[in-house]
Structure 1
């Protein structure tokens, strides 16, 4: 009988190709998804909509992404990982280019809905792909680099959008992001190794539903899903309304300056790798709790009036968020014993659902209480996340790291 192919190990050419492809895929996903975030004040002005309504350009994408991932993650168990990921990247890039020409607010929202659905073929499937194809000793590094690609993509998408909007228009900016997405899709298509350890499953709806039920009966996975909802909701809400605060007096920052703030996402690249390394030595629950505490300290700093203090607070929140997300997302893949794409899809369903629901809810808090309202909402979410992390510590003796 032919021996099973070895899993990809750190330092090998195949591992480097995988990391390049996953980095490009993570870059494109977050650049396309979040390129509209610094444009929310621009949309409010051009289309005459409120902050909460403007946030729908992001929240509808993340909300539909959350729901569609449950379906597409299951379909990847039948169709395979790479075909789903590559198709997702190409479709979302083309739709982003089309969205740049949307003639009305409702047309723009419609294209953003379609983008959310098309992007659903990447995040959960990529997490499952890594857990199947990469040697256990290198999974943390591969996942950290994927999350790092997310961070740089999110940063670059927002930065490029801010600069090109000042130089030309938001339509030029979004069209450029779509073009970058196409290039990333081609790179992923050419560089991503084909699955060697994927076993297709039958397209059995009842079996797929049973797999979902099994994941939802696991107390450890439930805690990780709660963390995804709370942490992403807090993080996106903070960034959604930061532009409104800093474009108003006394700061009066330009669109380019607002976009440049997202360079802070670079610390997410570092923190995702650092957190993964610390988790191997200190245990995932403790590192997760520590990263949430860092986020809380950053929220407190953002309440200070000086611009430098606000930015330092945002740095702390960003560092803590990407570190926590890296730990929790890799934990899901190792915790799930079967149907890993579905387990990852449930995690990301909660992740993007938090972004969608809480991100828009933040507009109500902004309208009623300004930044103090935003900080209060985010603090409550993070305190709840810290309580869940403490629960994970009590469960850790029964959870497989």
Structure 2
């Protein structure tokens, strides 16, 4: 009888360990999703001085790379919730993550400021499919205290993305060389 109880306790401990590992993976995915979506939103901020030189443009013109993404978010955010309701939260998030790679790659290889602004606008249209729907997903998937903790994880990932954009301004000179080389190679 004691052996059976010890065996059951071992199985229960093993299951608890697996659940905790799964929770850590889920937490990492939620944080990484927030980080990636918001990093894309703020991506051009530290590059504005470089973009001014690269495209021989004014500060106001290159600032449109940030504004265009923000306008895209403002336009599509009210509607992505409907997509999440219709098709499910997780599929909308996953499709949005993959869809975001297309305008992101095209923005990275833009040959003109106008095309960069267009791609940034399209990024903005897609981004709410990630960050707006993720908040609804978290509140539905993790109930009670778990939802608050997971939402804090998501917000932490998002804030780290914004801070990464701000702190990467110091890296702009070294990034500049690589971007200019990439632009020459691509066009």
Verify same fold: TM over 0.5: yes
Find the aligned partners of 2:33 and 2:182 in 1 and give their Cα distance.
22
Q: Which has the larger radius of gyration?
A: 2
2:61 equivalent to 1:53 = yes
Counterpart of 2:40 in structure 1 is 32
Give the C-alpha shift of residue 171 in structure 1.
Answer: 7.5
Give the C-alpha shift of residue 157 in structure 1.
Answer: 4.7
Aligned counterparts, 1:34-183, within 5 A: 34-157=42-165, 159=168, 162=172, 164-169=174-179, 172=182
Give the C-alpha shift of residue 170 in structure 1.
Answer: 5.8
Residue segments in structure 1 that go unaligned for 5+ positions in a row: 1-10, 174-401
Give the C-alpha shift of residue 59 in structure 1.
Answer: 0.8
Q: Structure 1 residues 172, 83: CA separation in 2 closer, same or farther (over 3 Å shift)?
A: farther
Residues 51, 57 of structure 2: 8 Å contact kept: yes
Residue segments in structure 2 that go unaligned for 5+ positions in a row: 1-18
Find the aligned partners of 2:85 and 2:25 in 1 and give their Cα distance.
23
Equivalent residue of 1:169, what SS? helix
Deviations 1:137-156 (A, max 9, x none): 12222111111111222333
Aligned counterparts, 1:220-369, within 5 A: none
Give the C-alpha shift of residue 35 in structure 1.
Answer: 1.1
Count of equivalent residues: 163
Residues 69, 120 of structure 2: 8 Å contact kept: yes
Give the C-alpha shift of residue 65 in structure 1.
Answer: 1.1
Residues 23, 145 of structure 1: 8 Å contact kept: yes
Residues 46, 165 of structure 2: 8 Å contact kept: no
TM-score, normalized by length of structure 2? 0.77
- Which is further off, 88-97 or 106-115? 88-97
Which structure would you say has the larger RCO, counting Cα contacts within 8 Å and 6 or more residues apart?
A: 2
Return structure 1 stretches of 4+ with deviation > 4 angstroms: 170-173
Find the aligned partners of 2:148 and 2:182 in 1 and give their Cα distance.
37
Give the C-alpha shift of residue 105 in structure 1.
Answer: 1.1
Q: Structure 1 residues 172, 30: CA separation in 2 closer, same or farther (over 3 Å shift)?
A: farther
Q: Structure 1 residues 32, 170: CA separation in 2 closer, same or farther (over 3 Å shift)?
A: farther
Deviations 1:28-74 (A, max 9, x none): 11111111001112222322332222211011101111211111111
Residues 100, 171 of structure 1: 8 Å contact kept: no
Q: Structure 1 residues 64, 172: CA separation in 2 closer, same or farther (over 3 Å shift)?
A: same
| Greater helix proportion | 2
